[in-house]
Structure 1
Amino acid sequence: MTNVVEIVNFTLAKGYTKDDFLAANQPMDEFLREQKGMLYRSLCEKADGRFIDIVYWQDMAAAQQGQQAFRQSPQCQQMVQCIEKESVQLEHVNVLASFGCDGG
């Protein structure tokens, strides 16, 4: 079984601050904790103000199931509103090797 990394690059929507976004991130964390096959998550900010959300999943099926649940979850809507939809770049990649992240 191959772990999968979901990488989402985006910017914030006009009118939203980083503090707004981080507050909206709390329910997202709760949502992810409930998802089967979610191993690890990092939310990162680049020097240019873009954000990268990185989620390790057990496999592609778990990643796809998590993505579907995200779209339907009321918990995630506040975070979605903070994101400039046209800026979103999402990809799933297979992990070939990893070190230091045991998923726990």
Structure 2
Amino acid sequence: MTETLEIVSFRLKPEAAADFVAQNGVVTDWLARQPGFISRHLGEREDGSWVDVVRWRSLEQAQAAAQRIMTEIGDCEAMQA
């Protein structure tokens, strides 16, 4: 198997920015329970956008998690931000 990096760039809704990092524990905890999860790095860029880099053991495991995440935790505050 080849490791896979999932890289997501996004902007927050203005009203969500203050609590975003604190709210992300739900997402990190969910990811940590997924088969193939290795690590996650979340950071804010100088222009105010964000990048979320998730390392997976395989592309298939990354895709499987991507298919489930919105159904399972899509309504949490971090995902709605």
1:11 is matched with which residue? 11
Select the structure that is richer in helix: 2
Tell me which amino acid in the other structure corresponds to 1:8.
Answer: V
Percent pairwise identity: 32
Three-state SS of the structure 1 residue aligned to 2:13 is coil
Alpha-carbon distance, 1:68 to partner: 1.3
Give the 4+ runs in structure 1 shifted more than 3 A: none
TM-score by length of 2: 0.90
**Higher Rg:** 1
TM-score by length of 1: 0.71
Tell me which amino acid in the other structure corresponds to 1:35.
Answer: Q
Tell me which amino acid in the other structure corresponds to 1:78.
Answer: E
**What stretches of structure 2 of length at least 5 have no aligned partner?**
none
**What stretches of structure 1 of length at least 5 have no aligned partner?**
83-104
What RMSD in Å do the two structures reach over aligned CA positions?
1.4
User: 2:27, 2:73 within 8 Å by CA — same for their partners in 1?
Assistant: no
Tell me, in whole angstroms, the C-alpha distance in 2 between the residues paired with 1:10 and 1:22. 14
Alpha-carbon distance, 1:74 to partner: 2.9
Higher relative contact order (CA 8 A, sep 6+): 1
